Amino acid sequence: MEILLLIFGVLAIILLVKMIKIVPQQEAWVLENLGKFDRVLEPGLTIIIPIVQNIAYKHTLKEQAIDVHAQTAISQDNVTLSIDGVLYVKIVDPVAASYGVSNPYYAISQLAQTTMRSEIGKLKLDKTFEERETLNHAIVTSINLAAVNWGIQCMRYEIKDIQPPKSILQAMELQVAAERQKRAKILESEGHRQAQINISEGEKAQVVLTSEAAYTDQINRAKGEAEAILFVAEATAKSIEVVASSIKKDGGSEAVSLKVAQQYVESFAHLAKESNTVILPANLSSPSGFITEAMTIYDKLKKGKNTN
């Protein structure tokens, strides 16, 4: 009797364990009732009927990373490439992932490979390196359109590496080197050209500044000479006015006569110093005759001025 009770107790515990299920967070369990889909169990504690009900599928709702192994693809310009990548997927419909496809992760990885080959075939070799972002987006879009009935969604796809053949890789390296040499020569020639332009502009500016300085110097000299002539003329006029005013005063005529006689005598003295040959007037022995002649000339000039 005790043995039977023990057996019934063990069976009750086993049955209880079979009935009580705890679904972890971020998981979805698909429950079948007599082999037919019943419902999806949410995270938490749930009770099922053993034998009648069964947990058919367990799916994680976390985002999964699937490694897409290296594969060959042919570009639009018939270059064979080796490409690998990483696929990030997430189950969004546990029912469709359970009954829509046998193995959703394997199915979507194969779909990613075929889609990648198809997208690479649309691009030339150079574009596959330049447009990785566009290529990744196109692959994700194509996968999601094809896997809409599988309950799984491709979040993103990243190409890890693109390996062309060694001969193509060497040709590309030579092309890059030639392009860099070309750009270096262009930059050097542009720099030389700009230097020549700068030198020419500097020489032109120097010539312009020199000519402007010469022009300004000539103007200033002309202005200075004109002002000097004007000052001399004004000084001469003032001196004449002063002399004329002095002559009109008492004793002015006698002073003028004395000054004329003095200059007359000094002129003959200088003439004798500057030349070996001197023509002298007949009345050289009489200095008073010199003075009389000079005064006669002065009187004639004075009378002619008064007549006018």
- Model confidence over 133-159: pLDDT tens digits? 888 888 898 888 888 889 899 999 988
Residue 283 reports pLDDT greater than 70: no
Average confidence (pLDDT) over 90-115: 89
Residue 251 reports pLDDT greater than 80: no
Domain of 285, in residue numbers: 250-307
> In this structure, are 54 and 125 located in the same domain?
no
- Give me the CATH number covering residue 95: 3.30.479.30
Dist CA 30 CA 42 (whole Å): 9
Please check whether residue 223 lies inside any domain of the structure: no
Please check whether residue 217 lies inside any domain of the structure: no
Please check whether residue 146 lies inside any domain of the structure: yes
> In this structure, are 89 and 155 located in the same domain?
yes
Average confidence (pLDDT) over 87-98: 91
- Give 259's pLDDT tier (boundaries 50, 70, 90): low
Q: Choose one of 116, 135, 164: the last residue of a domain.
A: 164
Note if the pTM is more than 0.95: no
> In this structure, are 45 and 123 located in the same domain?
no
- Give 30's pLDDT tier (boundaries 50, 70, 90): very high
Please check whether residue 214 lies inside any domain of the structure: no
